[in-house]
Amino acid sequence: MLHVYTMPPFIQLFYISANGKTFTKCSLAQELVRDGVSRGEVHHWVCMAQAESGMSTTASNVNTDGSADHGIFQINDYWNCKPSNGRASKNGCGHPCSDFENSNLRDDVACIKQNLIWHHHDFSGFSYGYRARCKGTTASYLSGCSY
């Protein structure tokens, strides 16, 4: 016989808030500025997060090549983080992928900044979602937000 245990709602809420979060545009902009993203660039970051993950820190996606993308910015586990399944990885950011699936965005920001500087030079090279949905359209993306 199968037994299913369901957590009480108040514990579920604690578990979700302790491990992951879905941001609004304005709350993500505020968090990113606190974590070192310049006010002049934050609209690019927020649009990328919306395009890649719907602004959810727990998002993950398996790609056709077998690699997976993790977290709010969909950081790839072949190039940028160490997957938990032990598969070979370049691990360019020096973190386990689980570090990018929580509500602490500092390591995500550092990883992306490192990739932009060393490899891609702009968001279009790092993020397929940014290239498809954000490039050239982000100037007014955060209108009405204080950050």
Which residues does the annotation mark as catalytic? 52, 69
What does the DSSP assignment read for 26-76? HHHHHHHHHTT--TTTHHHHHHHHHHHHTTBTT-EEE-TTS-EEETTTTEE
Gap between the Cα atoms of 87 and 85, Å rounded: 6
Gap between the Cα atoms of 117 and 107, Å rounded: 15
Contacts for 4 with CB less than 8 Å, ≥ 6 apart: none
* Amino acid (one-letter) located at 16: I
Sheet of strand 75-76: strand arrangement = 60-62, 68-70, 75-76
